[in-house]
C-alpha cells in the first residue's frame, strides 16, 4: 500500500483533539473542544480502513491472508509502546497513589495487558462515589481494547466473506454497519456507559473504514472530477471540526451524532488528492510528524495528566496544561524512536523470537507487580506515619455502612419504614455528601427508635412539576436504577406525610446552583406535610476545588490533616450563608439552618476546630467529609445541645431559625 501522508495528518487531528479535550482548556467557561473525544472515533475509522485495505491487498496477491502474520504485525504496532508506558508509570503510581487508588491502578494495568480494559472501566466507573475519571492513569486504554477486540474478530469475518461470500460482501457489510449503528443509538439511550466502551456499539465505525478500503479497491482514486476533488475533502474536514466544537458528551454518542466525524473521515480518505488545500494541510510536514507519533502521544498524555492532577489538583492552570502537553510530546518522540519504531523496523528486533522473549519479560514484570499490589491490599503501610493502616481500614469499612443502616434505593422496605415501633421517620436528602452524613446521623440517633431514609440523586436529571418529581432528560445510565427508585419514593404521598424531619446535606447549599431543584423538592414535601421539620446543614471547611485534595497535601507535606484545615478556603472568615447567591430561592419554606463550624469549633479560630477522628482526616479529597468524622461531629453537636432531628426546636418553630451555636 502506498504511503498516504494525509492519513497521518488525520491521526494528528484526532490526537490533538483528544488531548485538548482531556486537558480541559476552556473559553468563556466552556470547554474549548467540547467534542474532542470524537478524535477516538477517527482512529477507529482509520484502523478499519488500513487493516481492511492491507488484507484485501494480501488476499489479491497471495490468495490467502496469514492470520498469524496479521496478529504479529498488530502486536508489534501496539505492545512495545504500551508496555513501555506502563512500566515507566509504576514508580509514579507507587509514590502518588493511596492504597485503594494503587489497587485500582494495578487492576487497570492487568485489564490493559489482557485488552479487556473497556470491560473493566465500564464496570468500575459505575460504582457509587467512584473517583473522577481524570485521576485514572490508564482509562484511555479502553479504546485500545476495543481495537484489539476488533482485530481478533475481523480477520476471521473477512476470510469468510472474501473467500465464500464475495458476491454478497457489499450487502453484508452494509447490514453489519447499519445494525451496529442502530444498536449504538439504541444502547446509548439504555446504557450510555456500555455503549461508549463496548465493541458492538463501535463496530460500525471500523466497518465504515473497511468499506472505504473496499471501495478504493473496486474504484481506485482518480483525479477526474475537479468539483468532487475540491469539495469532498473540504466537507469532510468541516464535519470533523464541527463535531469537535459543537458535540458534547451529553449527546447520544456513540450513535447517529457520531456519523459527523466518521463520514468526514471517510470523505477525506476517499477523495484525497494533491490539489485539495485540505489534503495539502493534512500532508504537511508538521501534521505528518505529529501523526507519526500519534499512538505514543495518545498513550503518554493521559497518565501524564492524571498523575499531575493527583499531585497538583484537578484545576490545572493553562500554562501547566501546555507544559504537560509539551512533556507528552517529548515522551512520545522518545518512545517512538527508541521503542515503537525499532520493534517494527530494526533488523535485530524484527526477530520473532527476540520480540516474544522481550514481550514476555516486560509483560510478566508488570503482571507480577500488579498482582502483588492487589494481593497485599495496595501496600497499606506506605503512609502509616500520616494515615495509619488501622484508621484507613475503619474509614473504608464505614464508606458504605449507610446502606446497611438506612432505608435507601437498595433496600427500601415499606413495611419496616412505616412500622409503629419507630418514633421518628427522617429523610436525608442531598448529593454525593449524603452518604457520609447518612452514616453519621443514623449512627448517632438510631438507638432512639428512629428510622432513616437516605436518598441521593447524583446523576438524576429531575425537576418538580405539577407537584411531582419528573424527568428533565435521561438519567445518567450508571445511576438509572437508583434514580427510578428514588423518584418513586419522593413522589409517594404516604412517604411525605409520614416524615417528621427532612435533612438536606449537600455541597454549599446556598451557593451552588444545582441545589435549586433540592429547594423545589423541599417546598413540595413541606406542602404535602406542613408539620415536617426541615434542617439544612451548613458546610465544614473545604479546600479549593482545583487543589490536590487533603490526601495530596498530607502526602506532600508528610503531615496530618491539620495542613488541610489550615489550607481551606471555604467558608471564609465571617461567612454569612444569607449572602449566598441562592439564599432567597428558599423563601417561604420553614427550615432550620445548622452552622456546623460554630457548633463544632471551640472558637472563631479555625485551628480550634477538629481535623481528624481516630486518625481519619476530616476529608480525603477537597470537600467530602469522611463518614467516621461526620459521625464524630454529629455526636459532638448532639452533646452540645444541637439536635438535628429537631425535638427541642419544634415547639418554637418559626421561619428560618439558625442554630448558630456558640464559642467558648
| Residues of the chain above pLDDT 70, percent | 93
Tell me how far apart the alpha carbons of residues 638 and 445 are, in angstroms, rounded to a whole number.
Answer: 9
Nearest to 307 by CA among 88, 550, 506, 611: 88
**HSE-up of residue 35 (Cα within 13 Å, Cβ side):** 23
Q: Quick one: pLDDT at residue 338?
A: 94
Q: Which three cell numbers stand for residue 546?
A: 482545583
For residues 498 and 2, which has the higher predicted lDDT (pLDDT)? Answer: 498
Q: Quick one: pLDDT at residue 476?
A: 61
Going from the C-alpha of 269 to that of each of 210, 258, 490, the distances in angstroms are 11, 17, 53
Q: Which residues of 28-60 are buried (b: 16+ CB within 10 A; e: fewer)?
A: eeebebbbbbbbbbbbbbbbbbbbbbebbebbe
Q: Which three cell numbers stand for residue 607?
A: 485551628
Give per-residue pLDDT as tens, 336-361. Answer: 999 999 988 877 777 888 888 989 99
Give per-residue pLDDT as tens, 624-647. Answer: 999 999 999 999 999 988 989 875
**How confident is residue 477, by pLDDT bands cut at 50, 70 and 90?**
low
Strand order in the sheet with 592-594: 450-456, 424-430, 501-505, 533-537, 592-594, 657-659
Per-residue pLDDT at 335 exceeds 70: yes
Using DSSP's 3-state secondary structure scheme, residue 616 falls into strand
Per-residue pLDDT at 262 exceeds 90: yes
Per-residue pLDDT at 437 exceeds 50: yes
Per-residue pLDDT at 322 exceeds 60: yes
580 Cβ neighbours under 8 A, 6+ residues apart: 508, 509, 510, 511
CA torsion, points 311, 312, 313, 318, in degrees to nearest 10?
-140
Can you give 75-104 as a three-state secondary structure string?
Answer: HHHHHHHHHHHHHHHHHHHHHHCCHHHHHH
Pairing mode, strands 468-471 and 462-465: antiparallel
Give per-residue pLDDT as tens, 78-117. Answer: 999 999 999 999 999 998 888 888 999 999 999 999 999 9
Give per-residue pLDDT as tens, 375-420. Answer: 998 887 777 777 776 676 677 677 677 667 788 877 888 888 888 8
Nearest to 199 by CA among 302, 133, 115, 287: 115
Tell me how far apart the alpha carbons of residues 428 and 312 are, in angstroms, rounded to a whole number.
Answer: 34
Q: 132 with 314: CB under 8 angstroms?
A: yes
Specify the range with the lowest mean pLDDT, choosing from 1-10, 91-100, 643-652: 643-652
Q: Quick one: pLDDT at residue 625?
A: 93
Tell me how far apart the alpha carbons of residues 425 and 234 are, in angstroms, rounded to a whole number.
Answer: 64
235 Cα distance to chain centroid: 32
The CA angle 101-106-111, to the nearest 5 degrees, is: 125
Using DSSP's 3-state secondary structure scheme, residue 504 falls into strand
For residues 163 and 653, which has the higher predicted lDDT (pLDDT)? Answer: 163
Q: Quick one: pLDDT at residue 664?
A: 41
Helix axis angle for 39-62 and 259-270, nearest 10°, is: 40
Per-residue pLDDT at 658 exceeds 60: no
Nearest to 435 by CA among 637, 638, 627: 627
| Residues of the chain above pLDDT 90, percent | 57
Compute the average pLDDT of residues 155-182.
Answer: 90
Residue 504 main-chain phi, psi, to 5 deg: -100, 115
Q: 471 with 479: CB under 8 angstroms?
A: no
Q: Quick one: pLDDT at residue 29?
A: 72
DSSP track, 365-431: HHHHHHHHHHHTTTTGGGGTTTS-HHHHHHHHHHTTHHHHHSB-TTT--HHHHT-TT-SEEEEEEES
Q: 44 with 146: CB under 8 angstroms?
A: yes
Specify the range with the lowest mean pLDDT, choosing from 60-74, 383-397, 459-473, 545-559: 383-397
Question: DSSP code of 573?
Answer: T
Per-residue pLDDT at 656 exceeds 50: no
**How confident is residue 475, by pLDDT bands cut at 50, 70 and 90?**
low
Q: Quick one: pLDDT at residue 578?
A: 87
Helix axis angle for 117-124 and 142-164, nearest 10°, is: 130
Q: Quick one: pLDDT at residue 135?
A: 86
33 Cβ neighbours under 8 A, 6+ residues apart: 17, 20, 21, 25, 244, 245
Q: Quick one: pLDDT at residue 77?
A: 92
Give per-residue pLDDT as tens, 533-569. Answer: 999 999 999 998 777 788 888 877 888 999 999 999 8
Specify the range with the lowest mean pLDDT, choosing from 318-332, 409-423, 589-603: 409-423
**How confident is residue 591, by pLDDT bands cut at 50, 70 and 90?**
very high
**HSE-up of residue 498 (Cα within 13 Å, Cβ side):** 24
Supply the Cα-derived Rg of the chain in whole angstroms. 29
Tell me how far apart the alpha carbons of residues 146 and 141 are, in angstroms, rounded to a whole number.
Answer: 9
42 Cβ neighbours under 8 A, 6+ residues apart: 10, 11, 13, 14, 17, 240, 261, 262, 265
For residues 43 and 135, which has the higher predicted lDDT (pLDDT)? Answer: 43
Amino acid at each position: 500500500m502506498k504511503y498516504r501522508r494525509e492519513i497521518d495528518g488525520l491521526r494528528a487531528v484526532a490526537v490533538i483533539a483528544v488531548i485538548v479535550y482531556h486537558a480541559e482548556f476552556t473559553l468563556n467557561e466552556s470547554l474549548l473542544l467540547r467534542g474532542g473525544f470524537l478524535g477516538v472515533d477517527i482512529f477507529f475509522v482509520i484502523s478499519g480502513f488500513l487493516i481492511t485495505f492491507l488484507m484485501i491487498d494480501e488476499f489479491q496477491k497471495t490468495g490467502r491472508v496469514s492470520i498469524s502474520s496479521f496478529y504479529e504485525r498488530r502486536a508489534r504496532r501496539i505492545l512495545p509502546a504500551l508496555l513501555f508506558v506502563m512500566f515507566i508509570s509504576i514508580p509514579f503510581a507507587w509514590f502518588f497513589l493511596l492504597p485503594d487508588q494503587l489497587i485500582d491502578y494495578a487492576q487497570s494495568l492487568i485489564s490493559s495487558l489482557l485488552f479487556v480494559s473497556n470491560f473493566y472501566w465500564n464496570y468500575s466507573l459505575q460504582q457509587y462515589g467512584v473517583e473522577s475519571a481524570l485521576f485514572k492513569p490508564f482509562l484511555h486504554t479502553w479504546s485500545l481494547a476495543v481495537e484489539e477486540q476488533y482485530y481478533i474478530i475481523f480477520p476471521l469475518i473477512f476470510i469468510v466473506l472474501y473467500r465464500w461470500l464475495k458476491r454478497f460482501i457489499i450487502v453484508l457489510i452494509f447490514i453489519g454497519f447499519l445494525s451496529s449503528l442502530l444498536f449504538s443509538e439504541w444502547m446509548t439511550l439504555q446504557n450510555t456507559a456500555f455503549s461508549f466502551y463496548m465493541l458492538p456499539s463501535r463496530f460500525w465505525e471500523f466497518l465504515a473504514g473497511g468499506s472505504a478500503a473496499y471501495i478504493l479497491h473496486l474504484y481506485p482514486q482518480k483525479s477526474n472530477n475537479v468539483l468532487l476533488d475540491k469539495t469532498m475533502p473540504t466537507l469532510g474536514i468541516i464535519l470533523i471540526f464541527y463535531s469537535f466544537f459543537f458535540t458534547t458528551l451529553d449527546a447520544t454518542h456513540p450513535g447517529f451524532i457520531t456519523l459527523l466525524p466518521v463520514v468526514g473521515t471517510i470523505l477525506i480518505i476517499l477523495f484525497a488528492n494533491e490539489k485539495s488545500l485540505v489534503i495539502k494541510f493534512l500532508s504537511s510536514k508538521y501534521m505528518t510528524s505529529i501523526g507519526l507519533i500519534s499512538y505514543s502521544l495518545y498513550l503518554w498524555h493521559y497518565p501524564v495528566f492524571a498523575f499531575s492532577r493527583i499531585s497538583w489538583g484537578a484545576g490545572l492552570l493553562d500554562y501547566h496544561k501546555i507544559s504537560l502537553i509539551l512533556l507528552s510530546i517529548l515522551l512520545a518522540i522518545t518512545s517512538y524512536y527508541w521503542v515503537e519504531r525499532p520493534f517494527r523496523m530494526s533488523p535485530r528486533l524484527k526477530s520473532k523470537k527476540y520480540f516474544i522473549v522481550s514481550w514476555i519479560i516486560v509483560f510478566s514484570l508488570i503482571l507480577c507487580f500488579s498482582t502483588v499490589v492487589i494481593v497485599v491490599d495496595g501496600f497499606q503501610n506506605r503512609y502509616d506515619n500520616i494515615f495509619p493502616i488501622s484508621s484507613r481500614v475503619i474509614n473504608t469499612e464505614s464508606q458504605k455502612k449507610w446502606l446497611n443502616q438506612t432505608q435507601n434505593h437498595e433496600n427500601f422496605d415499606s413495611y419496616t419504614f412505616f412500622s409503629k415501633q419507630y418514633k421518628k421517620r427522617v429523610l436525608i436528602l442531598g448529593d454525593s455528601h449524603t452518604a457520609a452524613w447518612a452514616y453519621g446521623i443514623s449512627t448517632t440517633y438510631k438507638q432512639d427508635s428512629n428510622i432513616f431514609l437516605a436518598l441521593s440523586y447524583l446523576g438524576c436529571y429531575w425537576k418538580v412539576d405539577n407537584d411531582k418529581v419528573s424527568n428533565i432528560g435521561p438519567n445518567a445510565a450508571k445511576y438509572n436504577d437508583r434514580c427510578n427508585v428514588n423518584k418513586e419514593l419522593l413522589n409517594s404521598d404516604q412517604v411525605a406525610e409520614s416524615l417528621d424531619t427532612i435533612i438536606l446535606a449537600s455541597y454549599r447549599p446556598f451557593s451552588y446552583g444545582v441545589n435549586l431543584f433540592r429547594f423545589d423538592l423541599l417546598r413540595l414535601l413541606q406542602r404535602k406535610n406542613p408539620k415536617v421539620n426541615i434542617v439544612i446543614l451548613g458546610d465544614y471547611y473545604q479546600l479549593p476545588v482545583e487543589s490536590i485534595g487533603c490526601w495530596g497535601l498530607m502526602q506532600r507535606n508528610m503531615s496530618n490533616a491539620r495542613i488541610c484545615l489550615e489550607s481551606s478556603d471555604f467558608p471564609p472568615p465571617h461567612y454569612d450563608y444569607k449572602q449566598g447567591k441562592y439564599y432567597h430561592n428558599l423563601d417561604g419554606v420553614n427550615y432550620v439552618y445548622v452552622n456546623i463550624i460554630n457548633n463544632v469549633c471551640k472558637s472563631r479560630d479555625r485551628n480550634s476546630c477538629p481535623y481528624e477522628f481516630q486518625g481519619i482526616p476530616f476529608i480525603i479529597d477537597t470537600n467530602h467529609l469522611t463518614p467516621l468524622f461526620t459521625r464524630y461531629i454529629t455526636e459532638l453537636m448532639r452533646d452540645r445541645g444541637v439536635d438535628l432531628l429537631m425535638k427541642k426546636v419544634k415547639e418554637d418553630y418559626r421561619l428560618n431559625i439558625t442554630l448558630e451555636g456558640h464559642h467558648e
